[in-house]
Amino acid sequence: MANLRDAIRSVMVPIHPDGWKFIALFFIAALVMDRFSTLLGLIGLVLTVWCIYFFRDPKRVTPTRTGLVVSPADGIVQAITERTPPEELGLKDKMTCVSVFMNVFDVHVNRVPTDGVVEKIVYRPGLFLNADLDKASEANERMSIHTVLPDGRDMAFVQIAGLVARRILCNLHEGQAVKAGEKFGLIRFGSRVDIYLPKGVNPQVVLGQRMIAGETMIADLSDSKTPAMTGEDRAA
């Protein structure tokens, strides 16, 4: 019996609490659609299954070594640029920004990238352009978070709504102490997260790399002299 329970748990991934109301709505819609057509009912059922899949919240194992920066989101590294964080945070210097793009099939639960204290949180309404566009960082609806690391350095990460995303959830508050890998929010449905590394810290990821929130290392805060990796370095 214990083996059966373990087998079920290994298949049944937990669902984020925010997802249950959507799953219920999709299921009710599927029942209504089925009254008109079996095909429509089947389509509704497929969409309900997709909704369950979208709101999955799998367990993650975060590296415990001090100073590691882990990815705040599942997805693909879409851009690595030098830019100033969102103006509402008041950080004036340019920082290395790593953008992780989430499509509608990725896990959308966001996680804190590293230990620190939340200094400032600012929500800014905006457009809903495709999140893989460069201008989405400035034009789209976003939630910007500024954290101060244990050594006093500044870091920021930004939840950015995408083309079909219509809600950003952030459970953090100013003055809160956070730990790497902790869940802090969710973006519905398809979006991206930008992470701004402290000055002098180089990212250890490359464009196109698949990221796993709370697990994949983006940078090492204790090793700011290590150059950023290139595609050729990784291939070697």
- Catalytic residue list: 191
**Nearest-angstrom CA–CA distance, 142 and 131:** 11
Burial class (CB in 10 A: 0-12, 13-18, 19+), 151: exposed
Q: Which amino acid is at 170?
A: C
Give me 175's structure tokens: 């003055």
Q: Which residues, at least 6 apart from 113, have a Cβ–Cβ distance to it below 8 Å?
A: 69, 70, 71, 72, 155, 157, 180, 195, 218
- AA letter at 127: L
DSSP alpha helix (H) spans, 18-167: 20-36, 38-54, 136-139
> In terms of Cα–Cα distance, which of 154, 159, 153, 202 is closest to 183?
159
Maximum distance among all Cα pairs of the chain, rounded to whole angstroms: 64
CB 207 within 8 A of CB 78: yes
Q: Look at residue 219 and give its three-state secondary structure.
A: strand
